[in-house]
Amino acid sequence: MEKNLIVDSGLRGVTVASTRISHVDGDAGKLIYRGFLVGDLAGSATYEETVHLLLFEHLPDKIELADFKKRLSTHRRVSDELIKILELFPTDAQAMDVLQAATALMGAYDPDIRGVAKEDFLNMGLRLIAGMPTVVAAWHRIRSGRKPVPPDPDLDHGANFLYMLNGEIPAVDEARFFDVALLLHAEHSFNASTFSARQVASTRAHMYASISAAVGSLSGELHGGANVRVMEMLLEIASVDAVEAYVEKVLDQGKRIMGLGHAVYRVDDPRAHILAPMALEMGKRTGQPQWYEISKVLEEKGKAAFKARKNADIYVNVDFYSASLYYAMGIPVDLFTPVFAMARVAGWAAHVIEERFAGAAEKPMLYRPESQYVGNYCGPEECSYIPIDER
Ligand SMILES: CC(C)(COP(=O)(O)OP(=O)(O)OC[C@H]1O[C@@H](n2cnc3c(N)ncnc32)[C@H](O)[C@@H]1OP(=O)(O)O)[C@@H](O)C(=O)NCCC(=O)NCCS
């Protein structure tokens, strides 16, 4: 068989599978969830409707949505033992490490863990989508010396998370902004974490093994971890007047402006344009408009400085404005990436199910890329073994 040698590609431009779940048109700046533009969904739909669309391949009618919300909310409570385990983590543990460990552990309490039918995988996916917010909120309360707040089944998915985090039911508008943010983060085709989930699922590992791998992948600062780094950057800049000097310093040092650039988009990320006005509005309401204002000037100056240096354009990505939105909502900075994960788990679950249960013609085999062996210290191929006393 002729080998398709693409070395050092990072898989850019390599198509590894087909999917019906979503499409990113990087040139046009379009993100499509199962046929629907994300902007249209964000304008009217809820996170729960969107999760239904991703998992069940259609938008629910009223009865389906009511049933689905009920089904999700019954899975919000996680095992008491898992909460006790969270109490054993060091309080300064990194939030994404705790979430990854807890995600894997949730499988130990799932009655469907050994199931291999599509329905078992759907059940596991729903327990993760419903349970992850409970874990994130409970962990935050435990580490800050407070008791976890049990979920409220009468609240919507996003509002319930804010309630479990803060112990107060959020205002209607705040809950809606948060819901939209979750919806915008729910899915994004074959990004690094989704590919991690699918790659693990392709070995026929179960849902929890696949999703905990995805959580690990999301934690990195070039992927989901960027939203934390964006906020740290805004806090360091601290005022609009300091933006220009910051941009020059960072680029002079060959470092990156977090929240700018994307592996696929060649225009602004469409999600950034929906998040920006919400960040502005939340900033005004909470009396801290500066984070949005710094972001806005940073976008302008960062793009211009990048163009001047590299003669190329760079664009804002999803993490650029989600940071100032979450900060204005009072979400602790290190929880920004766990919040991303508890939104994206819907997309991951849909991909794991597609990976396992797509029709035979479409279903990819176990992923197993090649690498090019470039030799070692004793030559291009094999070394002679030297007994340890003679080395
Ligand atoms: C997301 C990201 C990894 C995509 O990168 P990419 O398109 O594969 O491009 P590369 O990493 O190959 O970078 C291409 C060039 O642009 C530069 N570049 C890319 N993003 C940059 C940024 N945010 N700030 C400054 N320079 C940047 C790189 O330094 C590189 O320059 P070089 O060719 O002189 O070495 C990259 O843009 C990045 O690191 N962004 C910041 C982190 C971030 O916001 N991540 C969230 C993504 S949703």
Which residue CA neighbors atom 24 of ligand 1 most closely?
A: 256
Mean pLDDT of 292-314: 97
Confidence of residue 381 (pLDDT cuts 50, 70, 90): confident
CATH code of the domain in which 29 resides: 1.10.580.10
Mean pLDDT of 367-389: 85
262 is catalytic: yes
Tell me the helix, strand and coil percentages in the chain, rounded to 5.
60, 5, 40
Q: Structure tokens of 16?
A: 């590894």
Mean pLDDT of 130-154: 98
**Per-residue DSSP letter, 241:** G
Confidence of residue 359 (pLDDT cuts 50, 70, 90): low
Query: How much of the chain, in percent, has pLDDT values that exceed 90?
Result: 88
- Give the CA distances from residue 376 to residues 2, 383, 389, in Å, rounded to whole numbers and listed in that order: 26, 9, 22
**Per-residue DSSP letter, 260:** B
Q: Are residues 232 and 216 in the same domain?
A: no
Q: Are residues 277 and 153 in the same domain?
A: no
Which residue CA neighbors atom 28 of ligand 1 most closely?
A: 256
Mean pLDDT of 60-72: 98
- Name the H helices within 93-189: 95-106, 118-143, 157-166, 172-184
Question: Does 370 map to a domain?
Answer: no
Q: How far is ligand 1, taken at its centre, from the CA of residue 182, in Å?
A: 24
The CB of 319 under 6 Å from ligand 1? The reply is yes
Q: Structure tokens of 380?
A: 């291009």
Q: Which atom of ligand 1 is nearest to the CA of 310?
A: 34
Q: Structure tokens of 6?
A: 């693409």
- 170 forms beta bridges with none
Q: Are residues 218 and 235 in the same domain?
A: no
Q: Which atom of ligand 1 is nearest to the CA of 191?
A: 48
What pLDDT, on the 0 to 100 scale, is given for residue 383?
A: 85
Q: How far apart are CA 386 and CA 391, in angstroms?
A: 6
What pLDDT, on the 0 to 100 scale, is given for residue 364?
A: 62
* Contact between residue 7 and residue 373 where contact means Cβ atoms under 8 Å apart: no
Q: For residue 243, what are the domain limits?
A: 226-328
Q: Are residues 111 and 252 in the same domain?
A: no
Closest-CA residue to 225 (of 82, 78, 100): 100
Q: How far apart are CA 268 and CA 262, in angstroms?
A: 9
Q: How far apart are CA 329 and CA 70, in angstroms?
A: 27
The CB of 257 under 6 Å from ligand 1? The reply is yes
Q: Are residues 181 and 299 in the same domain?
A: no
* Contact between residue 325 and residue 181 where contact means Cβ atoms under 8 Å apart: yes
In this predicted structure, the answer to whether residue 1 has a pLDDT above a threshold of 60 is no
Question: Does 153 map to a domain?
Answer: yes
Q: How far is ligand 1, taken at its centre, from the CA of residue 222, in Å?
A: 8
Q: What is the pLDDT of residues 3-21, one digit of tens each?
A: 556 677 788 888 888 999 9
Q: What is the pLDDT of residues 144-188, one digit of tens each?
A: 999 999 999 999 999 999 999 999 999 999 999 999 999 999 999
**Backbone phi and psi for residue 213, each to the nearest 5 degrees, phi listed first:** -65, -40
319 is catalytic: yes
On the 0-12 / 13-18 / 19+ scale of CB atoms within 10 A, 236 is: exposed
Which residue CA neighbors atom 3 of ligand 1 most closely?
A: 222
Catalytic residue among 262, 268, 269, 351: 262
What pLDDT, on the 0 to 100 scale, is given for residue 361?
A: 58
CATH code of the domain in which 238 resides: 1.10.230.10
Helix, strand or coil for residue 376? strand
The CB of 191 under 6 Å from ligand 1? The reply is no
Confidence of residue 360 (pLDDT cuts 50, 70, 90): low
Q: Are residues 119 and 238 in the same domain?
A: no
Q: Structure tokens of 5?
A: 């040698």
Mutate to test the pocket of ligand 1, among 256, 258, 337 (most ligand atoms within 8 A of CB): 256
Question: Does 1 map to a domain?
Answer: no
Residue with tokens 């990436």: 337
What pLDDT, on the 0 to 100 scale, is given for residue 2?
A: 52
Q: How far is ligand 1, taken at its centre, from the CA of residue 262, in Å?
A: 7
The CB of 229 under 6 Å from ligand 1? The reply is no
| DSSP letter string, 304-364 | HHHHHHHSS---B-HHHHHHHHHHHTT--GGGHHHHHHHHHHHHHHHHHHHHHHS-TTT--
On the 0-12 / 13-18 / 19+ scale of CB atoms within 10 A, 251 is: middle
In this predicted structure, the answer to whether residue 300 has a pLDDT above a threshold of 80 is yes
Our count of domains for the chain comes to: 2
Which residue CA neighbors atom 16 of ligand 1 most closely?
A: 261
Which residue CA neighbors atom 19 of ligand 1 most closely?
A: 261
The helix (run of H) or strand (run of E) holding residue 302 is: helix 290-310
Q: Are residues 278 and 349 in the same domain?
A: no
Q: What is the pLDDT of residues 28-62, one digit of tens each?
A: 999 999 999 999 999 999 999 999 999 999 999 99
Question: For residues 107, 113, 118 and 123, what is the CA-based torsion angle, rounded to 10 degrees?
Answer: -50
Q: How far apart are CA 259 and CA 19, in angstroms?
A: 27
Mean pLDDT of 359-378: 77
Helix, strand or coil for residue 33? strand
Which residue CA neighbors atom 40 of ligand 1 most closely?
A: 261
**Backbone phi and psi for residue 250, each to the nearest 5 degrees, phi listed first:** -60, -45
177-204: b (≥16 Cβ within 10 Å) or e? bbbbbbbbbbbbbbbbbbbbbbbbbbee
Q: How far is ligand 1, taken at its centre, from the CA of residue 278, in Å?
A: 26
CA atoms within 13 A on the CB side of 78: 31
Q: Are residues 118 and 266 in the same domain?
A: no
Q: What is the pLDDT of residues 280-298, one digit of tens each?
A: 999 999 999 999 999 999 9
The CB of 263 under 6 Å from ligand 1? The reply is yes
Q: Structure tokens of 276?
A: 């920006």
Helix, strand or coil for residue 379? strand
Q: How far apart are CA 27 and CA 317, in angstroms?
A: 14
Question: Does 152 map to a domain?
Answer: yes
Q: Are residues 71 and 139 in the same domain?
A: yes
Question: Does 29 map to a domain?
Answer: yes
Catalytic residue among 156, 179, 268, 319: 319
On the 0-12 / 13-18 / 19+ scale of CB atoms within 10 A, 240 is: middle
* Contact between residue 255 and residue 309 where contact means Cβ atoms under 8 Å apart: no
Altogether, the residues listed in the chain come to a count of 391
Question: Does 381 map to a domain?
Answer: no
